[in-house]
Structure 1
């Protein structure tokens, strides 16, 4: 395989991985916010003793 083609394929792969990593990071942020909201609701219902 020629070096130019190899480099182009590596760059394309990196772009795809970066986008996937960003998507996964955003999903984790959303999940953390959801869990934090549920914890706040639980504290409101059960109080701090739980």
Structure 2
């Protein structure tokens, strides 16, 4: 089998060779990058939720539900500041 490709420039030839040789690796790298982006978004959402719980803004309206008015240990009842939920 003979593959005949007309190359217009050295750059085009290099891009063609790179696309043929590295295609599976690039696909895998893109998948890994997208997985990392999704995990980062989940961690950011967890951090926002933890910050809201600590400051008392988690669904509270007015000052009645804030940590300052709820008494000592109200922020601790939600769990440690560094804890985050594990989603699977």
TM range (shorter): 0.7 to 0.9
- Could you say which structure has the greater relative contact order, defined with CA pairs below 8 angstroms and 6 or more residues apart? 2
Are 2:35 and 1:23 equivalent residues in the alignment? yes
> Which consecutive segments of 4 or more residues in structure 1 shift more than 2 A?
5-9
Greater fraction helix: 1
Query: Which runs of no fewer than 5 residues in structure 1 stay unpaired?
Result: none
Q: Deviations over 1:7-32 (max 9, x none)?
A: 43400000000000000000000000
> Between Structure 1 and Structure 2, how many residues are aligned?
44
Query: Which runs of no fewer than 5 residues in structure 2 stay unpaired?
Result: 1-16, 57-66, 70-88
Over the residues paired in the alignment, what is the CA RMSD in angstroms? 2.2
Structure exhibiting the larger radius of gyration computed from Cα positions: 2
